[in-house]
Amino acid sequence: MTIRVLLADDQALLRATFRLLIDSRPDLEVVGEAADGAQAVELARAHRPDVVLMDIRMPGTDGLSATATICADPQLNDTHVLILTTFELDEYVAQALRAGASGFLGKDVGPGELLDAIRTVAAGDALLSPQATRTLITRFLTGPELGPAPDALKRLDPLTGREREVMALAAEGLDNNAIAAQLFLSPLTVRTHLHRAMAKLDARDRAQLVVIAYQCGLVRAAPQ
């Protein structure tokens, strides 16, 4: 099955470079190009791509606003946003994740990494390395103003004990293989638990599951 990609970046040369790279692979296809966030939203609704490769800083409607609009649209539930940024851990990335983005990449990423990232996000997995997850959560997704409400854990009531356990380890930045090794499970079983947790919590993907884990107080960031 071909993964359909929408490019959103105000730099025409960069879009052209990405298009050449992506279209050169038999399992990937660029279905549109947007020069700003408003156009990205319009084209996402028109083409319903699997992945939107979204720049943050664009004129007019920026990538953050476009990401929030796309991720809030029930008609685009199967569209995942992959953020491109010059600074891998700037606070705009955290805002994008809270808005529903599936992950982020630095603009200096290599060709192979970019293609793998698109495939990863299209499959519903979050593109968040363990270090990036911990740093991002510690710096931007927690704090007095974002701490869990007293009854926040009730949101997790639909989950089984094992699903909570797997979700907590994913929120700490462990990948499926590491979680499987720690809990003496198979990676496939771990993936099944994560997907069940996503379904029960109405999380679009693993990235949202990580955010929910911290917002509900299932996992707490270490003091800065």
pLDDT, average across residues 147-170: 84
Q: Between residues 103 and 196, which one has the greater pLDDT?
A: 196
For the chain, percent of residues with pLDDT exceeding 90: 50
Burial class (CB in 10 A: 0-12, 13-18, 19+), 55: buried
pTM (2 decimals)? 0.74
Helix, strand, coil distribution of the chain in percent, nearest 5: 55, 15, 35
pLDDT one-digit tens code per residue, 19-34: 999 999 999 999 999 9
Residue 57 has pLDDT above 90, yes or no: no
Instruction: Give me the domains of the chain, ranges plus CATH numbers.
Output: 3-127 (3.40.50.2300), 140-215 (3.40.50.2300)
Q: Categorize the per-residue pLDDT at 90 as very low, low, confident or very high, splitting at 50, 70 and 90.
A: low
